[in-house]
C-alpha cells in the first residue's frame, strides 16, 4: 500500500507540474499588462517599469516560468494583484468555506441519493421508482444557478424560513478560528448560537449544490443495486426465506456500494465546479467566489493559485477512493 501511495503522489506531482505549465501559459494569453492592472491606468511609465522588474515580468517567458516554479516549490504562490496579499494566505482564508459547503453538499447527496436509490431498486418500475428517476433526471438537467436563485427567492425573500446569503447573519460575530469551518469551530468552542446560525445559513447552498450529486448517486445506487439484486447469492438468500429487508440491507448493500464509492469520488470533483456558481449566488466567501472575482479583475496570480489548489483536490480524492475500495474489498488490488 505504501508503494501505491508513493506512486500516486509521484503521479500527482507530475500532473501538478503540467497544471503549472498550463496555467502559466494561460496567464500569458491575458491581453493586458499585469503591472497596469496592479498599478492602475494612471501609473507613470517608470512605476510600471519598476513593478515589472520587481516581479521579473521584464525577463523572457521561459525564465519567468522557472522563477514561478522555484517560488512555487517554496510554497510561494505569488501576491494577489487585487487583495495585495499573498495568494497562499488568501487561499487559506477562503478554502475552509468551500470545504464546509462541499462536505455539507456531499452529506445531502449521501443521505438522499443512496437511500432513494436503494428504495427505487427494490420497487423497480413501480411508482416510487418512477418518481425517483424523475427526481434524478431533473437533478441532472436543471441549472444549479436557477435552483439557488429560486431557493433564495422562495425560502428567504418570500417565506422568511431561512437566512439569506453569507455564512452568518451580519450581526453575528464569527467563532474563534480553529479550522475555518464555522460549524466545526462553533462546536469546538461550544458556541451554540453561532452553530445554529451557521447551520441555518448552510441549508440552502448545501441543498442547491448537493442536488446534482444526489441525482448522480441515486442513479448509480439504483443501477448497482439492480445488478446485485439479480445475482444468484441474493436469490439463494431469498429462497432460504430471509426477509426482503434483510436480503437488501445485509446481503446486497455491501456489494452494491462498491461502484457507488467511485461515484462519490467523482462527485466531489463536480462539487468544486458547482461551488463556483453556488458561492456566487449565495455570496459564500469560498474558493469559487475568490476564483470568479479574481478572473473578473484579471488577477492571474490568484487565478493560477486557485486552479493549482483545485487540481490537487481531485486526484487526491481519487487516490483516497481507491484506498477505500481496497479496504471495502481486499480482493481488489491497488496498482
Figure out which of the listed residues 108, 272, 282, 286 binds other proteins, where binding follows CB under 8 A.
272
Cβ closer to other proteins: 130 or 178?
A: 130
CA distance 117 to 226: 10
Decide if residue 130 touches other proteins (CB under 8 A). Answer: no
Decide if residue 19 touches other proteins (CB under 8 A). Answer: yes
Decide if residue 105 touches other proteins (CB under 8 A). Answer: no
Cβ closer to other proteins: 29 or 73?
A: 29
Decide if residue 131 touches other proteins (CB under 8 A). Answer: no
Q: Which of 262, 272, 217, 283 is nearest to 99 (CA)?
A: 272
Decide if residue 315 touches other proteins (CB under 8 A). Answer: yes
**60 is written with which cell numbers?**
523572457
Q: Is 58:52 a contact under the CB 8 Å cutoff?
A: yes
Q: Is 96:180 a contact under the CB 8 Å cutoff?
A: yes
For the chain, the C-alpha Rg in angstroms (whole number) is: 24
Q: How many C-beta atoms surround the C-beta of residue 194 within 10 A?
A: 22
Q: How many C-beta atoms surround the C-beta of residue 79 within 10 A?
A: 20
Figure out which of the listed residues 61, 69, 154, 249 binds other proteins, where binding follows CB under 8 A.
154
Task: Give how far Cα 8 sits from Cα of 4, 14, 55, Å.
Answer: 6, 10, 34
Give strand pairing partners of 79. Answer: 86
Contact segment (CB under 8 A) with other proteins among 52-60, 111-119, 136-144, 186-194 equals: 136-144
* CB of 53 vs other proteins, minimal distance in Å: 24
The separation between CA 56 and the C-alpha centre of its own chain, rounded to angstroms, equals 34
Contact segment (CB under 8 A) with other proteins among 72-80, 235-243, 244-252, 300-308 equals: 300-308
Q: Which of 84, 88, 90, 62 is nearest to 76 (CA)?
A: 88
Contact segment (CB under 8 A) with other proteins among 79-87, 242-250, 254-262, 308-316 equals: 308-316
Cβ closer to other proteins: 129 or 185?
A: 129
Decide if residue 313 touches other proteins (CB under 8 A). Answer: yes
Angle formed by the axes of helices 144-151 and 253-281, to 10°?
A: 70
Give one DSSP letter per residue of 209-238, joined into a string: HHHHHHHHHHHHHHHHHHHHHTSHHHHHHH
* CB of 175 vs other proteins, minimal distance in Å: 28
Decide if residue 18 touches other proteins (CB under 8 A). Answer: yes
Site size with other proteins, rule: CB under 8 A = 57
Tell me which residues touch other proteins (CB under 8 A). 11, 14-16, 18-19, 22-23, 26-27, 29-31, 137-138, 140-146, 149-150, 152-154, 157-158, 222-223, 226-227, 269-270, 272-274, 276-277, 280, 288, 291-292, 295-296, 298, 300, 303, 306-307, 310-315
Amino acid at each position: 500500500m505504501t508503494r501505491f501511495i508513493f506512486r500516486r503522489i509521484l503521479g500527482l506531482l507530475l500532473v501538478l507540474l503540467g497544471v503549472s505549465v498550463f496555467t502559466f501559459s494561460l496567464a500569458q494569453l491575458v491581453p493586458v499588462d499585469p503591472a497596469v492592472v496592479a498599478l492602475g491606468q494612471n501609473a507613470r511609465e517608470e512605476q510600471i517599469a519598476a513593478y515589472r522588474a520587481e516581479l521579473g515580468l521584464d525577463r523572457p517567458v521561459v525564465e519567468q516560468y522557472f522563477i514561478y516554479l522555484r517560488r512555487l516549490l517554496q510554497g510561494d504562490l505569488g501576491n494577489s494583484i487585487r487583495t495585495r496579499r499573498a495568494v497562499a494566505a488568501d487561499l487559506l482564508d477562503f478554502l475552509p468555506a468551500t470545504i464546509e459547503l462541499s462536505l455539507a453538499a456531499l452529506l445531502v447527496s449521501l443521505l438522499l441519493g443512496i437511500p432513494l436509490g436503494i428504495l427505487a431498486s427494490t420497487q423497480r418500475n413501480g411508482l416510487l421508482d418512477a418518481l425517483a428517476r424523475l427526481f434524478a433526471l431533473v437533478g441532472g438537467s436543471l441549472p444549479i444557478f436557477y435552483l439557488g436563485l429560486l431557493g433564495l427567492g422562495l425560502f428567504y425573500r418570500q417565506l422568511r424560513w431561512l437566512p439569506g446569503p453569507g455564512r452568518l447573519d451580519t450581526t453575528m460575530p464569527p467563532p474563534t478560528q480553529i479550522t475555518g469551518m464555522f460549524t466545526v469551530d462553533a462546536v469546538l468552542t461550544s458556541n451554540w448560537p453561532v452553530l445554529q446560525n451557521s447551520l441555518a445559513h448552510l441549508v440552502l447552498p448545501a441543498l442547491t449544490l448537493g442536488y446534482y450529486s444526489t441525482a448522480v448517486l441515486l442513479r448509480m445506487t439504483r443501477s448497482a443495486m439492480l445488478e446485485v439484486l439479480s445475482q444468484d447469492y441474493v436469490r439463494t438468500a431469498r429462497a432460504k426465506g430471509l426477509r426482503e429487508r434483510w436480503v437488501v440491507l445485509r446481503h446486497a448493500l455491501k456489494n452494491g456500494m462498491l461502484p457507488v464509492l467511485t461515484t462519490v469520488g467523482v462527485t466531489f470533483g463536480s462539487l468544486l465546479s458547482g461551488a463556483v456558481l453556488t458561492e456566487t449566488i449565495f455570496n459564500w466567501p469560498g474558493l469559487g467566489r475568490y476564483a470568479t472575482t479574481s478572473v473578473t479583475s484579471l488577477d492571474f496570480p490568484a487565478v493560477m493559485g486557485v486552479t493549482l489548489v483545485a487540481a490537487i483536490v481531485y486526484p487526491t480524492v481519487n487516490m483516497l477512493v481507491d484506498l477505500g475500495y481496497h479496504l471495502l474489498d481486499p480482493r481488489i488490488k491497488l496498482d
